[in-house]
Amino acid sequence: MNAAMLAAVAAILGSVLTGAAAMYGSRGANRATREGGALNGYNNLTDQLQEERKELRTDLSSARAELAAERLESARLRLMVQQLGGTP
């Protein structure tokens, strides 16, 4: 084997190793992208759930206020019935 052939073999081996390293690096980058996508999806779901929970709290608060108003009206009407001599 002369020096030219040795250099050619080394260049071929270097190319193969470089290609393998690129494939391995690409797999790691793809995995990081997938994991990043999963985290973004989780964050989006968490944000949506927090918004829905906030809306439900507002709805619950208004429902409680309506119930209190209805109870007050019911008590007022019972009192009027009693004042007029009836039984509620």
CB 63 within 8 A of CB 69: no
Question: Cβ contacts of residue 78 below 8 Å, gap of 6+?
Answer: 88
Question: What is the arithmetic mean of pLDDT over 56-75?
Answer: 96
What is the phi/psi pair of residue 50, to 5°?
A: -65, -40
Alpha-carbon span 60 to 14, nearest angstrom? 69
CB 81 within 8 A of CB 88: yes
Give pLDDT, residue 71. 96
Q: What is the pLDDT of residues 11-51, one digit of tens each?
A: 776 777 777 776 666 676 666 666 667 677 788 899 999 99
Predicted model pTM: 0.50
Q: How many domains does the chain have?
A: 1
Note down the domain range covering 37: 1-88
